[in-house]
Amino acid sequence: SITTCSTFANRKILVYDGISPLSKGSVEAMVRYVAAEEGPNNIRCNAVGIGWIQPGNQDFSQIPPKPDVEPEDQLGRMLVLMREIVDMTKIQRNGTPEDAGNLFAFLASNEASYLTGQIIAIDGGLSL
């Protein structure tokens, strides 16, 4: 079983996030080709399209809708972007490292033995 990382940004345009989907589009194409070519050898290949996963124990949903920082400041732009992402997420929270880890563990398990060539989004509905 091979599982790679991709991004929700291949399905939803997000300002200031153009660099990530450019490379991940190639990763998704590779997943489909490896799955097709190696399936007869019982090798599965999938990708996880990761959404906004909080670093550590930070909860960006607690950032006020209009952070008290200047948007011209780099930190200010990042806080505004983080808050906008949480607001666009249908579940209205950040993903956690455990959320993503559970999906990776599932894809590596025997329970996913019939899954191959899939790009599975874990983004709380952000790409909808």
Q: What is the pLDDT of residue 60?
A: 62
Query: What pLDDT score was predicted for residue 68?
Result: 61
Predicted pLDDT of residue 78: 72
The pLDDT value recorded for residue 84 is: 79
Q: H-type helices in 70-111, by residue range?
A: 74-88, 97-108
Q: b/e per residue, 51-79, with b = 16+ CB within 10 A? A: bbbbeeeeebbebeeebeeeeeeeeebeb
pLDDT of residue 59: 62
Instruction: Quick: pLDDT tens for 26-43.
Output: 999 999 999 999 999 999
64 φ/ψ sector (left φ>0, alpha ψ -120 to 50, else beta):
beta
Q: Is the pTM of this model over 0.85?
A: no
**pLDDT at 82 exceeding the cut of 70:** yes
